């Protein structure tokens, strides 16, 4: 019992020491690390002898692109925030909104968001528009015609991430 109490005391003391060390402000000129760091750091070019890598305003570098992780194992940002990444994030938000509307069975809202997605991402990089359109049709106009369209999509698009949802909303529902 005494050994357990001593072990707990040592763990608590070690945790307090770690917390007090991390709560202290960093020395002048050193970058802030951990939760106190800004969520979206500004990007600047490294000023060392023409170094090509990007660094954030907190002094941490960004990981190099590609499959090879070339940083030295220290803290790095995964990538800079670029217009391309902001576009991907916006696409993910629209897809999430369409999924929410689909989960709620709200065909009209799904169609409104799908139309916005179609306007903003006409290239349809993930080939989602047809699947969401079929689900919206099934939610708004359940019947033999939408069920048949859903069945065709389900049979043809075997690798689609929307196949499950077409099956759920068009084939399993009571049309």
pTM above 0.75, yes or no: no
String of DSSP letters for the chain: -HHHHHHHHHHHHHHHHHHHHHHSPPPTTSPP-GGGS-SS--EEE--STT---EEETTSPBBPPSSSS--S-SS--BSS---HHHHHHHHHHHHHHHHHHHHHTT-HHHHHHHHHHHHHH-TT-TT--HHHHHHHHHHHHS-SHHHHHHHHHHHHH-TT-TTHHHHIIIIISS--
Task: Convert the pLDDT of each residue in 46-97 to its tens digit.
Answer: 444 344 457 777 777 777 666 565 556 667 777 777 899 899 999 999 999 9
Task: Convert the pLDDT of each residue in 9-51 to its tens digit.
Answer: 555 555 555 444 444 444 444 444 444 444 444 544 444 434 4
């Amino acid at each position: 019992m005494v050994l357990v109490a001593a072990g707990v005391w040592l763990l608590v003391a070690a945790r307090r020491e770690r917390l007090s060390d991390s709560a202290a402000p960093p020395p002048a000129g050193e970058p802030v690390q951990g939760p106190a760091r800004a969520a979206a750091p500004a990007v600047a070019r490294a000023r060392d002898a023409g170094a090509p890598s990007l660094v954030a305003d907190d002094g941490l570098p960004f990981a190099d692109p590609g499959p090879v992780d070339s940083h030295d194992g220290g803290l790095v940002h995964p990538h800079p925030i670029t217009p391309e990444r902001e576009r991907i994030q916006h696409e993910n938000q629209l897809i999430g909104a369409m999924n929410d509307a689909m989960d709620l069975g709200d065909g009209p809202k799904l169609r409104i968001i799908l139309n916005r997605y179609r306007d903003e991402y006409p290239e349809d990089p993930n080939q989602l528009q047809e699947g969401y359109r079929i689900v919206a049709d099934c939610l708004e106009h359940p019947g033999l015609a939408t069920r048949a369209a859903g069945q065709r999509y389900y049979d043809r698009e075997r690798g689609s991430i929307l196949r499950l949802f077409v099956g759920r909303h068009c084939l399993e529902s009571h049309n």
